[in-house]
A and B are shown apart, each in its own frame.
Chain A
Amino acid sequence: MMNEKPTLKSSLKAYLYLLPMLVISVTFSIWPIISSLLMSFYTKYNFYTDKVSKMGFDNFIYLWNDPDFHLAVRNTLIFVAGVVPITVILSLIIALLLNQIKWLSGFFRTVYFLPFVTSTVAIAMVWNWIYHSDYGLMNYFLSLVGIHPINWLTDPHWSLLALIIMSIWKDLGFNIILFLVGLNNIDKGYYQTAEIDGANAWQRFWNVTIPMISPITFLVSVNGVISSFKVFDQIFALFQGTPGPGKADLTIVYYLYEKFYTEYKYPIAAASGVVLFVLILLVTFVQLWYSRKHVHY
């Protein structure tokens, strides 16, 4: 019965079930995908009347020549390269440690996961205060080990690092949970066999844990790359509605926001969105290609 061919009647009925979801997603995600692709080629566009009089590659050429966009791409790449590897390694280590303990383990899991459920904007306010150059906690802790105060949020040399540190702190919990689930799913038999074969703890880690956990490592890195490429909320809140000192924290999405919301250059904003998508796609493909060789399913 399950493999029967659909009939007109069964199709009609199914589409009634699908209708509400279809209407919303066609209006607010499928059509917009097409429309923003098209819009990125509009070169003469009046957004009041929604009239297009010319199309071409000018928006992409504009991005190619815009130093701000170069800066945005550069900052985004640094941000991704700074956040993702550290988050993956740190969260794997913490998950391995948490996996070893029983007493209080529920409490620790709760604590590590807490940043995930908190509003990015609200917690960025807190970090803004922590980074305060005169009265902030960060510089106080640094002063205890003899480091001079750093202008975390006003010095362009440090402000991207400030953003990276906060983002790592916020992202850890989510990845720890995934790693813990993965560690739990490893068949204990592998460890016993390895132990019988005389493998020490370190060898068991490298030859059992790392390969067995590799699908999760892959998943966590892909997830991390995609979400880090889209960083926006943290910046807006941490630097109070600016892209950091001297645009040191201008990212692609922030650029898109500025072009769209403050400069009303819709087609250029749309083009930067397309570039963002292509970049994410490229990096994801590289990760997929790499995982073919190194991930054990």
Chain B
Amino acid sequence: MAKKISRVLLYLIVALGALTMLIPFLWMISTSLKSGPETIKVPPVWIPQVLRWHNYVEAFHAAPFLRYFVNSVIVTVVTTVGQLLTSILAAFAFARLRFWGKNFLFMIFLGTMMIPGEMLIIPNFVTLSKMSLVNTYGALILPWLASFFTVFTLRQTFQSTPDQIYYAAKMDGASDWKYLWTVLVPMSKSTITAVTVLEVIGSWNSFMWPLIVTNSEKMRTLPVGLQAFTTDAGTQYQLLMAASTFVIIPMVIVYMFLQKYIIAGISKAGLKG
């Protein structure tokens, strides 16, 4: 009996906690479907009398959200693919190849991971201004094309594949290049998926850098555009919440489909670091 009670209690606490996590999302969606007067009703209404889906259309047209969305997609895709390519190549060199300065270089990169990225903002802004790339996709993408975190994670995975496979491939006359792309990369699919998903989420949600390097409306990414939209929307909370919803939804969908990779990636990277 005591066991049953503690079981019920356990579920009650966990469910209550989960509800706390969900309330902001539910409140966001609920508000996004309300009419203006309904948003300021006391006590608050959870389910609006009429579901105003039109709020989404209205919010979407109230600012150039389509443009922001396209920018976010371009920046996220190019950053992720580019970073993955540079990282796979570098990780392979660190895991398999022999070269002068390997340990030295590795230590330097490990050291750079300690530096807060915020310190790099000013010099990077200066560099990009000199290249006259401020307010272009170049500024939004270039600095993020290398990530030592990704190199480090991939290197661990590459190193854990047995040497025999490498030598067998060599015996069959495969070059390092061919071995990397036809054997190693397919074998490391789950780690690659994990770092890719983490990078997609990070890139999609990043705010400070795009805020600093974009100064025209047409170069803004979704988070920056959404932030700017608050000034226009004023107290029209239903529109603000509708806009927040469509910034959040794409990553929630990515998460729902690739949840197991994200969690594996975090635990792998987290536990090693």
Contact = CB atoms under 8 A, between A and B. Distances in A.
A is bound by B: yes
Interface of A: 1-2, 4-7, 10-11, 13-15, 17-22, 24-25, 27-33, 35-36, 39, 47, 50, 94, 97-98, 100-101, 108-115, 117-123, 125-127, 129-130, 132, 134-135, 137, 140, 169, 172-174, 177-178, 181-182, 216, 219, 223, 226, 229-230, 232-233, 236-237, 240-241, 253, 256-257, 260-261, 266, 269-270, 273-274, 276-277, 280-281
B17 interface: yes
Contacts of A230: 116-118
B248 A119 contact: yes
Contacts of B85: 20
Interface in B97-120: 97-100, 102, 105, 108-109, 112, 114-120
B93 A29 contact: no
A122 B120 contact: no
B69 interface: no
Interface of B: 10-11, 13-15, 17-18, 20-25, 27-28, 31, 39-44, 85-87, 89-90, 92-93, 97-100, 102, 105, 108-109, 112, 114-127, 130, 142-143, 145-146, 148, 151, 163, 167, 176, 201, 204-205, 207-208, 211-212, 222-224, 226-227, 230-231, 237, 240-241, 243-245, 247-248, 251-252, 254-256, 259, 262-263, 266-267, 270-271, 273
Contacts of A21: 86-87, 89-90, 146, 151
A17 B92 contact: yes
Q: Is the interface of B mostly helix, strand, loop or mixed?
A: helix
A281 B163 CA distance: 38
Given A36-B119, A274-B119, A233 B207 contact: yes
Contact of A118 (B123, B176, B205, B207): B205
A129 B122 contact: no
B37 to A, nearest CB: 11
Most-contacted residue by chain A among B122, B126, B230 (CB, 10 A) = B122
Given A117-B255, A118-B205, A240-B231, 11 more contacts: A24-B143, A28-B120, A31-B123, A31-B127, A113-B255, A121-B205, A121-B226, A130-B27, A236-B208, A257-B212, A260-B122
A15 B243 CA distance: 46
A270 to B, nearest CB: 5
B271 to A, nearest CB: 7
A118 B98 contact: no
A111 B24 contact: no
A91 B269 CA distance: 19
